[in-house]
Amino acid sequence: MCVNIRSLANPRNFSKLESLIANMNIKPTVICVNETWIKQKKPGIHCYLPGYNFISNSHVITTGGGVGLYVDNKIPHSLCNDLTIMKEKTFESLFIQFEVSNTKIVCGTIYRSPGQDGSSYNDFHNTLTASLSKINKMRLPTYILGDFNFNLLDTNNIHVDNFTTSLFENSFIPLINKPTRITGTVSTCIDHIWTNNHKHKTTSSILLDAISDHLPIMVCTNVKTKHRNMVPRQRNFCNKNIEKFKTNLSDIDISGVMTQNDPNQAYSLLTQLIGQQFVNCFPFSPTKSEHETQVWFDQELHNIQMLKQRSYKKYMNKKTECRKEKYNKVRNLYTHMLTKKKQEHYHKLFTSTKQNTKRTWATINKLLGRVKTKSTSPMIIDGCITTEPRKIANHFNQYFGTVAKNLAVKLNPPKKPFHSYLSKDCPNSMFLYPTCPGEIVQTIQSMQPKLSCGFDEIPVKVIKNFSENIILALSHVINLSFRTGTTFLTDFKQAKVIPIYKKGDRKLASNYRPISLLSNLSKVVERLVYNRVYSFLITTNFFSNSQFGFRKQHSTSHVTTKLIAEVTENLNNKNHTLGIFLDLSKAFDTIDHKIMLKKLYACGIRGVALDWFESYLGGRSQHVFYYDFISTNKQGISLGVPQGSILGPLLFIIYVNDFPTCLHYSTPLMFADDTTIIVSAKTKDELKKKS
């Protein structure tokens, strides 16, 4: 689809684009936008369209103009750099290449500003000819959409003739031959779709839902994409299904679980009982694509939109002042209601989340277009570009599983052994006392009812509705684990990893960060252990006063206040002050398990409790999920604390708790792995020596 939006900087026009896409039965794979009017490398706050990645080619010197592409984020695509050109107000283009059903396709947009002189016509013609020559050499089906400002209905115009001749000579044919810009005095066909694809059946259309004074144009082809199946499946966790699940669980016989003495076998029996009811009660349901989630576009707005289109169609059939006046009235009403509905929606959203800073900022970032998206993209693997999802999943898993190991190998050996910095061993030892159903229920109810889950697919929302007999069986399994100490459940050691794009080249795995999802039931167990360990360490006064991260009643405000106080005191004493800010790369991922266990022993976690932690850290593995594709190569994890876990942050601050004892002339301020070292001295030379 292609639309002259004039401009993306206009919130009303962007809202019209949102409503247009939300109301379409077919989600466009690529949406070309002309006259974006956005600045180079600054997309602006009105460029985020759910379900799409946005790329642009904008003006650098002058204002106005510019082209952009919204590309379905489930379609791997790459930029055609040699076809992407910016000659401001003369030739502005943006092209991509993507693959559907093993067919590579080139799609792009070209915009030419109106009112050009003879030299500009020649420059446009020469640039177009060179671009068409490059496209021919690619030998790929190509679609070119855009506002060319050449009226194809004006057959006597020499510039139009030269333009069409260049395209015809390169086997391109036009798919739009009716007016796309209609005013009270003139109707012109200046928005075009050209293609050299004569193999597949195509259908083109002109949409009556105008955003600017141009009508959107669209082309559909019968090439079906297998990537549509890459939409992750979702189970239906409606209240009706949850009530059915809870009722069915209450009738389950748990005697087989309660007689087991091995925690892994007991948990295996329990998951079989739960799993049977889980599959029956929560079937997979069709997922709506992201462009259908504009909740502010309600039925009232839809009715006004349909009325606007009917009024426009009547006006086009017979241009009378009465029909024109009626159309303008309905169009203005639609524009007003569009803005009103969107404002009301976000006002309600901000009001409902005003007590939740995280959700408030998530909404703000969405409005500003600062949204991290999961998207498919070609990846460079062993020097070759591939779009095959399974290979990409394996590549991500290999990278995520080895990056910490490779970094750890490069670390210089310490000058002194780690135990030389430790305080005397704690004389007390922690007892991993058993749990009970009441404590488990309290722990579960304190968890956020999220739908994210690990391999077992069971979200917290479902766990919150476990029946009493299931809670009793779970209590038995957990106590078996606590009693033996040597067994942290094997099923809990598998991580489900989702790659999330950060920034930079999308084809490089290093520009993605892994999000690890663990079993929510494992988080219940971890929370129970966390409470026991944290309470014990508080009673022994273990934590350094320099650590402010992951501690109750400690926050960034406290560490900031401490930093200001330190600097102020040094300045009042007329001391020179130096701040050293440490950024630890892969801090959580490079923790040595042997050292971790020895530090746990030193702080009083011994015997069965230490055996439990040894089992907890060892034997872990991960798989990468890339939409509905899972990596086939299981990657073992021998370093670090489990990402996405409850105990991971606590283990980390235990691991680095002795860091202040390494320093002789300075004061560290730590917030987990973010560390600031304050050094002060009377003279600069002394300051340099201390640092």
Q: Kindly write down the DSSP assignment for every residue of 44-89, as one continuous string.
A: -TT---TTEEEEEE--SSSSS--EEEEEETTS-EEE-GGG--EETT
More confident of the two residues 288 and 71:
71
Report the domain count for the chain. Answer: 2
Confidence of residue 43 (pLDDT cuts 50, 70, 90): low
Token output for 255:
């005697």
Split at pLDDT 50, 70, 90, the class of 143 is: very high
What is the structure's pLDDT at 137?
A: 94
Q: Which helix (H) or strand (E) holds 244?
A: helix 239-250
Q: How far apart are CA 557 and CA 521, in angstroms?
A: 33
Which of 227, 262, 286 is a domain's end point? 227
- Percent of the chain whose predicted confidence (pLDDT) is above 90: 51
Confidence of residue 228 (pLDDT cuts 50, 70, 90): very low
CA-derived radius of gyration, the chain: 31
Is pLDDT at 229 greater than 50 in this prediction? no
pLDDT of residue 227: 45
Mean pLDDT of 633-660: 92
Q: Give yes or no for residue 608 having a pLDDT over 90.
A: yes
- The conformational region for residue 613 under phi > 0 = left, psi -120 to 50 = alpha, else beta, is alpha
Phi (first) and psi of residue 284, to 5 degrees: -70, 140
Is the pTM of the predicted complex or chain greater than 0.85?
Answer: no
Does residue 643 lie within any of the structural domains? Answer: yes
Q: Tell me the C-alpha distance between 51 and 73, whole Å.
A: 6
pLDDT of residue 393: 92
Helix (H) or strand (E) holding 130: helix 118-138
Q: Among 318, 423, 375, which residue's Cα sits nearest to residue 662?
A: 423
Q: Which of 227, 254, 289 is the last residue of a domain?
A: 227
> CB under 8 Å to 646, separation ≥6 — which residues?
523, 526, 527, 530
Q: What CATH code is carried by the domain that includes residue 92?
A: 3.60.10.10
Over 70: is that where the pLDDT of 230 sits?
Answer: no
In order of 69, 70, 372, the CA distances from 210 in angstroms are 18, 18, 30
What share of the chain in percent tops pLDDT 70? 95
Is 111 inside any structural domain? yes
Q: What is the pLDDT of residue 364?
A: 80
Q: Which two tokens stand for residue 397?
A: 């898993």
Reported as a pLDDT band with limits 50, 70 and 90, residue 496 is: very high
Look over the chain and give the mean of its residue pLDDT values, rounded to a whole number.
88
φ/ψ region of 544 (left if φ > 0, alpha if ψ in -120 to 50, else beta) reads: beta
Question: Is residue 375 pLDDT above 90, yes or no?
Answer: no
CA pair distance 344, 141, nearest whole angstrom: 45
What's the domain range around 511? 384-432+485-690
CA pair distance 249, 257, nearest whole angstrom: 14
Looking at residue 639, what DSSP letter applies?
S
Mean pLDDT, range 97-110, rounded to an integer = 90
**Cβ burial 306-338 (10 Å sphere, 16+ → b, else e):** ebbbebbebbeeeeeeebeebbeebbeebbeeb
Helix (H, G, I), strand (E, B) or coil at 682: coil
The pLDDT assigned to 287 comes to 58
pLDDT, position 15: 87
pLDDT of residue 374 exceeding 60, the answer is no
Whether residue 58 lies inside any domain: the answer is yes
Contact 195, 182 (CB under 8 A): no
Out of 177, 212, 227, a domain closes at: 227
Could you read off the pLDDT of 526-580 as tens digits, one per residue?
999 999 999 999 999 999 999 998 888 888 899 899 999 989 998 999 999 999 9
Residue 643: pLDDT above 60?
yes
Q: pLDDT value at position 232? A: 56
pLDDT of 605 over the 80 cut: yes
The string of pLDDT tens digits covering residues 427-473 is 999 999 999 999 999 999 999 888 888 888 999 999 999 999 999 99
Q: What is the DSSP letter of 610?
A: H
**Spatial CA neighbour of 106 closest among 126, 73, 131:** 131
pLDDT at 271: 93
At residue 664 the predicted structure's pLDDT band, cuts being 50, 70 and 90, is confident
The pLDDT of residue 7 is 87
**Model pLDDT for residues 262-285, shown as the tens digit of each residue:** 999 999 999 999 999 999 999 887
How much is the average pLDDT of 396-418?
87
| Rounded mean pLDDT, 326-341 | 88
